[in-house]
Chain A
């Protein structure tokens, strides 16, 4: 079957012959490799995308089931070369080590700030509970978003 959906504001479509995940479809068929593939079981959060307004693990979404949906990946967050507020906050706080978890963290934090502009530290930690940083660089990541939360108050 052909699956068609909105990807980062543009129409996207492709042929799906097997029950592959949205993550594999994005990376292998559409060559959108910002979302990372690691655990394939929703444990690590590195594949996080926003599907119809909520953050989900794209490895747990069947590509064939996004027909007609709206998907935002990390590639859709910057605007003409300008980083989003969440991306800029991580950049300034040095909240990136190896970078593998970064796209998922950026997407999860974008979801958080889209409905809570000044989250508490606890709320930041809970929003990122499904995103693992194997460099264990959580300190700088949390500080980046504490700073961003403070700017909006």
Chain B
């Protein structure tokens, strides 16, 4: 087995381009390995790469852990971070890993969709920024090329003034989301709603956004119309964690409650 422990980004990029499997917090990759679904013989450990661990304003390095985001992240992303796994998982798991795994249930992904974040992808010869909606292409599938590394998450310079995250699951800690949701509302009324675990990728409920953004002081009936539109726009499946019907219902209720929190 060949293992690299680079401290510089160029060295890490060379290893990735040479075919090494990137290892960040290990909270996804090691489960695959422990259960015999993956057996990489060429690995690049990323946790010593300073540039990946750096966090400057709206640019969050891919190696920033959930624990750090819980401590100082933007409101709704910090709220999401707090629900990731357990202290042990939050100490290891990274936002870049969440994005790379691209699980429909990734706790950090609804926030990235709600604020139109970009993913910074770097290879030894190129750098590109992909909008979240171009990056996530299917269940655990992304537009990242094999020789590219996720280096950072770029948030907009200015974030909406009101933000709220919520997650429905069977218990408080250590739970994979049945539905995850972020609602943002800015001072001018512009509202976004993004959801996870209800489609192959994180999604936005654009019809609900358009309808409620036009309401300066939404009435009770407007709030329930918003809920109905969110429930209509999601595309959930029935699996071992929940049913399509429940997810559809919960998505609408959760989005409406988060909107109410933003309006307070």
Contacts and interface: CB of A to CB of B under 8 A. Distances in A.
Interface of A: 1, 16-21, 40-43, 45, 48, 54-57, 59-62, 64-65, 67-68, 108, 111, 126-127, 129-131
Interface residues of B, number: 31
A20 B33 CA distance: 8
A21 B1 contact: no
Given A60-B26, A62-B23, A129-B86, A54 B91 contact: yes
12 contacts: A40-B34, A41-B31, A55-B88, A57-B88, A59-B34, A67-B3, A129-B87, A129-B172, A129-B173, A130-B87, A130-B174, A131-B86
Interface of B: 1-3, 5, 23, 25-27, 29-31, 33-35, 39-41, 43, 45, 47, 67, 85-89, 91-92, 172-174
B31 A40 contact: yes
Given A42-B86, A61-B30, A62-B26, 16 more contacts: A18-B1, A19-B40, A21-B33, A40-B31, A42-B27, A54-B67, A54-B91, A55-B87, A60-B27, A61-B26, A62-B30, A65-B3, A111-B87, A129-B86, A129-B174, A130-B88
Contacts of A45: 86, 88
Contacts of B91: 54-56
Contacts of A131: 86
Nearest to A37: B34
A42 B88 contact: yes
Nearest to A3: B3
Given A65-B5, A65-B47, A19 B39 contact: yes
Contacts of A108: 87-88
Contacts of B172: 129
A122 B29 CA distance: 31
Most buried by A among B2, B33, B35, B91: B91
Contacts of B87: 55, 108, 111, 126-127, 129-130
Contact of A56 (B33, B43, B92): B92
A65 B1 contact: no
Nearest to A45: B88
B70 to A, nearest CB: 11
B39 A43 contact: no
Contacts of B45: 62, 64-65, 67
B1 A42 contact: no
Nearest to A24: B34
B173 to A, nearest CB: 3
A151 B230 CA distance: 51
Contacts of A19: 1, 33, 39-41, 43
Contacts of A21: 30, 33-34
Given A54-B91, A127-B87, A67 B5 contact: yes
Nearest to A16: B1
A130 B85 contact: yes
A64 B43 contact: yes
Contacts of B89: 42, 57, 60, 130
Contacts of B29: 62
Contacts of B39: 18-19
B3 A42 contact: no
A53 B172 CA distance: 26
B27 A17 contact: no
Most buried by A among B23, B26, B33, B35: B26
